[in-house]
């Protein structure tokens, strides 16, 4: 018999990137007296991952808990970027309602639509929180109107569209039911959560049933499985049954049971239905597996996420510098790490290839793949990756490719350049409007492969002032050839150490990526050519000394500062015949075929190289 667990609320925080979602969680934690009065507290305390703090975005779904008026409120902080949509899709079955956070100026944005659609499809109620109400250009009435339109467009029921609205300034911890009547606390928000969002519907006396939704790892406890207890109860040393995706049964024993209190996991002897719990000792559990009663096994529906759109290959580093900087350099270690990631991240697929040293990795977007690469290099892995390529599907005997809904906001001075750039990449304009501040807002439908390498061109064309957001828009018939790269590479033709003299001669042919005294090898990309073709350059060349030339005359050469590429920039730059060598200390762009003579033979023979 099911009943409502009135002492619990399970909610998710959803919003677009940088709308203040994690900051609002901070305010709720502080006002719940989670921290001691004299305890130093970092900003965005929920963004615990180093990359999250550096980039200012949430990457991994995390949960915390606060208590108000005797009710435990489990809060799941979700990513706002569509590339990490897999994190969002799987936590929606853990919650019963959502807080939809929107900026008081920007209103609902593309990633807001993406996450909200999944919440509404599961029948969740929403509370709309208009944040940053103190901004000078705040327009709350307009934002609420647009949010209501979004609910209607996404097929919300009448009950879902009658959402309550609150206004906040998350930085100061102020909240209220009117934009000009804020209180100095989060009490109105807590009260609305208790009144408007339902308690979990559970069967406390039924057989155990829990779905593995999130994964954690502890050096001492091993793998930690997180999920909501739908029915029954679970305790320390209980014997349970795991049902995997193939419906195979695996008997297990629970080592420890934890519930959440603030930012901490508190070990308990037993947890009851409705709560979000963390379990240890369950071994090789995968996302979506069901933990159930051995005497009454009943599997929950598998977690479904949207398909990946991009693939790259990860391979063992084969450059002349291989093994110098990495701790984990073998194919066995690389394969092991990638398959661990695919078990944790349901939106990531990893497959073996014909080569034992190369693995095919499919993800949601360049940022999704880029974060994986950055995490692995920080862990000590050394490997090489290829240019991202889109995944094509055959539908009705025709090839279809993934599309993106692209929203750009630019000043009037740069609108022509942006429209032209997207037009060249087969972009179709589907909407255009003028903002209150005079800037132009465009919505395009663009093939995903047309956006590979586009971000850098967009920022250059708008002098860094443009805003761009993307959202997966389904599959459509193949749009034909798209010219995405209009330049070649400057390629080192001999190994050695780059000299000022050699770089000075090379910089006249393009933009350099390296400076003097950088060690290079044959086939390494050292810069971007101003023309479409690749050019071999000798950056290690030294000036010949005679009686008429002094050894210090190189000092008079003027070198332009090299262009420093980030990891994301390097991924975007790659051509089909190039690889990105990634190590814990550095990353280098290189040609697939390093020797100059073999590359020329490759071009003459139409892609076939003699071995």
pLDDT, tens digit (0-9, with 9 covering 90-100), for 361-384: 998 888 888 889 998 999 999 999
> Could you give the CA distance from residue 410 to residue 432 in angstroms, rounded to a whole number?
11
- Using CB atoms within 10 A of its CB, is residue 94 exposed (0-12), middle (13-18) or buried (19+)? buried
User: Does the annotation flag 19 for ligand binding?
Assistant: yes
Contacts with 393 (C-beta within 8 Å, 6 or more apart), sequence order: 399, 400, 401, 475
- Which pLDDT tens digit goes with each residue over 215-225? 776 767 778 88
Number of Cβ within 10 Å of residue 307's Cβ equals: 14
Q: Which residue's entry shows tokens 């994964």?
A: 215
Helix or strand or coil: residue 556? helix
| Mean of pLDDT values over 15-32 | 76
Q: How confident is the model at residue 335 (pLDDT cuts 50, 70, 90)?
A: very high
Q: Which structure tokens are listed for 140?
A: 């709350």
Burial of 490 (C-beta count, 10 Å sphere; 0-12/13-18/19+): buried
Q: Give counts: helices (H), strands (E), the chain.
A: 14, 39
Span 9-16, mean pLDDT? 84
Task: Output the six-digit token pair for 127.
Answer: 């509370």
The pLDDT value given to residue 407? 85
pLDDT at 611: 35
Q: Is 213 annotated as a binding residue?
A: no
Two structure tokens written together for 145: 């109107």
Q: CA-CA distance, 407 to 454, in Å (whole number)?
A: 13
Predicted confidence band of residue 385 (pLDDT cuts 50, 70, 90):
very high
Could you tell me if 133 and 104 are in contact, meaning their C-beta atoms sit under 8 angstroms apart?
Answer: yes
List the domains of the chain with CATH numbers: 3-201 (3.40.50.300), 209-292 (2.40.30.10), 312-385 (3.30.70.870), 393-477 (3.30.70.240), 489-604 (2.40.50.250)
SS3 assignment for 348-409: CEEEECCCCCEEEEEECCHHHHHHHHHHHHHCCECEEEECCEECCEEECCEEEEEEEEEEEE
Evaluate whether 46 touches 27 at the Cβ level (below 8 Å): no
Mean pLDDT of 331-355: 88
Residue 23 annotated in ligand binding? yes
Q: Is the pLDDT of residue 599 over 70?
A: yes
pLDDT band per the 50, 70, 90 thresholds, residue 48 = very low
Environment class of residue 246 by beta-carbon count within 10 Å: exposed (0-12), middle (13-18) or buried (19+)?
exposed
Separation CA 167–CA 24 (nearest Å): 11
Would you say residue 83 has pLDDT above 80?
A: no
Chain centre to alpha carbon of residue 572: 16
Query: Which residues 6+ apart lie within 8 Å of 296 measured at CB?
Result: 207
Dihedral over Cα of 595, 597, 598, 603: its sign: positive
Please report the pLDDT score of residue 110 as a whole number: 64
Among the listed ranges 109-113, 405-409, 509-513, which one has the minimum average pLDDT value? 109-113
133 is in an annotated binding site: yes
Q: What percent of the chain has pLDDT over 70?
A: 88
The answer, yes or no, to whether residue 59 has pLDDT greater than 70, is no
CA distance 80 to 483: 30
First to last CA, the chain: 70
22 is in an annotated binding site: yes
User: 21 a known binding residue?
Assistant: yes
The band of 36, judged by pLDDT with boundaries at 50, 70 and 90, is very low
What tokens does 21 get? Answer: 């979602």
What does each C-alpha distance from 119 to 64, 72, 156, 192, 198 come to in angstroms?
19, 21, 10, 18, 14
Residue 37 pLDDT exceeds 50: no
Residue 5's pLDDT is what?
82
Which tokens belong to 525? 């990309």
Beta strands 389-390 and 310-316, pairing class: antiparallel
Burial grade of 485 (CB within 10 A; 0-12, 13-18, 19 or more): middle
Is 84's pLDDT higher than 60?
no
What pLDDT, in 10s, does the model give residues 516-564? 999 999 999 999 999 988 999 999 988 776 655 555 555 567 888 999 8
The predicted structure's pLDDT at residue 54: 47
The rounded percent of the chain whose pLDDT value lies above 90 is: 35
pTM above 0.75, yes or no: no
Query: Which of 23-27, 76-80, 190-194 is predicted most confidently?
Result: 190-194
Q: Where residue 60 falls among pLDDT bands split at 50, 70, 90?
A: very low
Does the annotation place 132 within a ligand binding site?
yes
Q: What is the largest CA-CA distance in the chain?
A: 99
For all residues of the chain together, what is the average pLDDT? Answer: 84
Q: How far apart are CA 539 and CA 515, in angstroms?
A: 10
């Amino acid at each position: 018999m099911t009943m409502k667990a009135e002492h619990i609320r399970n909610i998710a925080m959803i919003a677009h990137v940088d709308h203040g979602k994690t900051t609002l969680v901070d305010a709720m934690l502080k006002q719940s007296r989670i921290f001691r009065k004299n305890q130093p507290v970092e900003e965005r305390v929920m963004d615990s991952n180093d990359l999250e703090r550096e980039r200012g975005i949430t990457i991994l779904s995390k949960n915390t808990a606060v208590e108000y008026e005797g009710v435990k409120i489990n809060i799941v902080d979700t990513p706002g970027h569509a590339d990490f949509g897999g994190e969002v899709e799987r936590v929606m079955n853990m919650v019963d309602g959502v807080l939809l956070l929107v900026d008081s100026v920007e209103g609902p944005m593309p990633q807001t639509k993406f996450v909200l659609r999944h919440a509404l499809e599961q029948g969740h109620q929403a509370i709309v929180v208009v944040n940053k109400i103190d901004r000078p250009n705040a327009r709350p009435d307009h934002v609420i109107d647009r949010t209501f339109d979004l609910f209607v467009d996404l097929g919300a029921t009448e009950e879902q569209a009658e959402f309550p609205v609150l206004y906040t300034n998350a930085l100061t911890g102020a909240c209220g039911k009117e934009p000009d009547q804020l209180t100095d606390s989060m009490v109105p928000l807590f009260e609305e959560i208790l009144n408007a969002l339902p308690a979990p519907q559970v069967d406390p006396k039924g057989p155990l049933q829990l779905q593995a939704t999130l994964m954690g790892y502890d050096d001492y406890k091993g793998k930690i499985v997180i999920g909501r207890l739908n029915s029954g109860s679970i305790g320390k040393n209980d014997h349970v049954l795991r049902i995997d995706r193939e419906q195979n049964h695996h008997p297990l024993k629970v080592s420890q049971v934890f519930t959440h209190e603030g930012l901490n996991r508190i070990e308990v002897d037993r947890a009851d239905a409705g709560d979000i719990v963390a379990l240890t000792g369950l071994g090789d559990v995968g996302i979506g597996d069901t933990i159930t009663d051995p005497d009454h096994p009943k599997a929950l529906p598998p977690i479904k996420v949207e398909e990946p759109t991009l693939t790259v290959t990860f391979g063992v580093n084969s450059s002349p510098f291989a093994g110098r900087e990495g701790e984990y350099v073998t194919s066995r270690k690389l394969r092991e790490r990638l398959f661990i990631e695919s078990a944790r991240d349901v939106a990531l697929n990893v497959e073996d290839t014909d080569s034992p040293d190369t693995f095919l990795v499919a993800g949601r977007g360049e940022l999704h793949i880029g974060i994986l690469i950055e995490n692995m290099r920080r862990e000590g892995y050394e490997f090489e990756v290829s240019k991202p390529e889109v995944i094509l599907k055959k539908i009705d005997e025709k090839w279809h490719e993934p599309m993106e809904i692209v929203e750009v906001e630019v000043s009037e001075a740069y609108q022509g350049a942006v429209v032209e750039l997207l037009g060249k990449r087969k972009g179709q304009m589907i909407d255009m409007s003028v903002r209150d501040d005079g800037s132009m807002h465009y919505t395009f439908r663009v093939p995903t492969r047309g956006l590979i390498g586009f971000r850098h061109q967009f920022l250059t064309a708008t002098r860094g002032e443009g805003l761009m957001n993307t959202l997966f828009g389904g599959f459509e018939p193949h749009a034909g050839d798209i010219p995405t790269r209009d330049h070649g590479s400057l390629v080192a033709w001999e190994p050695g150490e780059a000299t000022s003299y050699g770089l000075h001669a090379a910089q006249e042919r393009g933009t350099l990526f390296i400076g003097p005294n950088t060690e290079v090898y044959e086939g390494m990309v050292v810069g971007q050519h101003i023309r479409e073709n690749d050019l071999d350059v000798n950056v290690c060349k030294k000036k010949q000394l005679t009686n008429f030339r002094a050894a210090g005359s190189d000092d008079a050469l003027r070198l332009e500062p090299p262009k420093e590429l980030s990891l994301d920039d390097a991924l975007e730059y790659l051509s089909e015949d190039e690889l990105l060598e990634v190590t814990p200390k550095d990353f280098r762009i290189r040609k697939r075929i390093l020797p100059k003579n073999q590359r020329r033979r490759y071009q003459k023979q139409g892609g076939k190289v003699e071995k």
